[in-house]
Amino acid sequence: MRLLLRALLIAFFAFVIAVPFVLPMYPETLATEALILGLFAMSIDILAGVAGRVPLGHGAIFGVGAYVVAYHVTVSGGSAWIGMLLGIATSAVVAALFGALAVRTTGVYFLLLTLAEGMIVWGICYRWTSVTGAENGIRGVARPALISDPHIFYYFVLLTVMMAAFLIWRLVHSPFGQALRGISESSSRMRTLGYNVPLTLTIAFTLSGVFAGLAGILFVLLNNFVSPSNVSLDQSTQGLLMVILGGAGTLWGGFVGSAVIIVLSNLVSAYTERWSMILGLMFIVTMLFASEGLIGKAKALVGARSAGRKTV
């Protein structure tokens, strides 16, 4: 079983690396998008899956990164590389602010507070015409010459996302990650153990925001375009749905969720204009029969099988 799993994983990674050679242009773009949104989902998973705080405002942090790059490149005429650094820095600042305000709450209050924070950013992007272009957004964000080719851009995204994913994985499996898990299980116990719970959560929120912002930056480089819909509630829920679909707390689940949603929405919409209904039904079915998400369910199935073998 293990061997088979390993073989499947290796085959999968080989496929991911070979994408520009085996897939035509359009599916390749979809794969790029799936990687980017997978990273976005993973950043949400740090809070939702590990720290037990479900945020509904990460779309705003994602979008802030995108807007800063777009503004820097088109209006100020600066280099996209510098823009990326500025974008990450801004996302981190916004996330730190969001975090500092929200971390003292839990559950539905945390959800609503982050939702409100996201809406503020959306409101700013929607109204501040001279800077954000309001409803029309900012367009014409050209990629730097080095990564302008779509194949090279795919590898650039793949590399960036893999490095970011590794960092997130390290973070979650570090003592800091353990502290987050502890907070998720019982913040009062962590407090008595001497942990500064709000500070730990604020740091986690900020780090999560850095990765969400990075995803937003890659996204604007892919689409050459950013508009208020990228900072909207829709963007936040989309990321969260990807996490839940793939499996909260599994980290890699975000990629599974994003791949499934992107591929399905493209396949289904080719056959019916009611595609969003089909996606909705799929979410309901997943929640009913695999509430731990696709990765969670797969793990449980594999676990049950090998446990069953051992007893025989």
9 or 167: CB nearest other proteins: 9
For residue 79, the SS3 value is coil
**Chain positions contacting other proteins, by CB under 8 A:** 1, 23-27, 29-30, 33, 126-127, 129-130, 133-137, 139-140, 223-225, 227-230, 234, 263, 266-267, 269-270, 273, 275-276, 301, 305
Residue 42 contacts by C-beta under 8 Å, 6 or more apart in sequence?
A: 164, 165, 168, 211, 243, 251, 252, 254, 255
For residue 160, the SS3 value is helix
What would the two tokens of residue 214 be?
């990075």
DSSP 230: G
Please state the closest distance from residue 201 (CB atom) to other proteins, in A.
30
105 or 269: CB nearest other proteins: 269
Give the whole-angstrom CA distance, residue 203 versus residue 209. Answer: 10
Please state the closest distance from residue 53 (CB atom) to other proteins, in A.
27
What would the two tokens of residue 115 be?
């939702």
Give the whole-angstrom CA distance, residue 45 versus residue 48. Answer: 5
Q: Are 199 and 74 in contact (CB under 8 A)?
A: no
Please state the closest distance from residue 106 (CB atom) to other proteins, in A.
31
Please state the closest distance from residue 59 (CB atom) to other proteins, in A.
11
Radius of gyration of the chain (CA): 20
Give the whole-angstrom CA distance, residue 104 versus residue 89. Answer: 24
Please state the closest distance from residue 34 (CB atom) to other proteins, in A.
12
Residue type, 113: L
Residue 142 contacts by C-beta under 8 Å, 6 or more apart in sequence?
A: 73, 80, 148, 224
Please state the closest distance from residue 85 (CB atom) to other proteins, in A.
24
Please state the closest distance from residue 230 (CB atom) to other proteins, in A.
7
189 or 274: CB nearest other proteins: 274
Nearest to 260 by CA among 18, 41, 9, 57: 41
175 or 308: CB nearest other proteins: 308
Give the whole-angstrom CA distance, residue 139 versus residue 224. Answer: 6
Nearest to 171 by CA among 196, 147, 205, 217: 205
Please state the closest distance from residue 25 (CB atom) to other proteins, in A.
4
What would the two tokens of residue 165 be?
């994913």
